[in-house]
Amino acid sequence: MNKIAATAALAAILAAPAAFAIQPSAIPETGSLSKAPAGSTVEIRTSDKGDSFVNYYRVGENGSLNFVDQVRQSND
């Protein structure tokens, strides 16, 4: 019986939306690139409210930038 309750609790936790998920900040508006090869990665550094971020984008077939990930940089 305990296994069933534990499995049900785990399923409920995994099914719930992640309220604690990281929300990207300081994502700049991007245009498109004409000389970067499709599939390559582009790094754009930004800041927001005193925090520094490194934003990673993947270049699409049409030269558009698709957001992939963001890393906060320590100011220490």
Burial of 61 (0-12, 13-18, 19+ CB in 10 A): exposed
Q: What is the pLDDT of residues 44-53, one digit of tens each?
A: 888 877 788 8
Q: Which of 30, 28, 27, 24 lies closest to 62, judged by CA?
A: 30
pTM: 0.61
Residue 43 CA to residue 37 CA, distance in Å, equals 14
Query: Tens digits of per-residue pLDDT, 8-46?
Result: 554 555 554 444 445 566 677 778 888 889 999 999 888
Tell me what pLDDT residue 30 has: 77
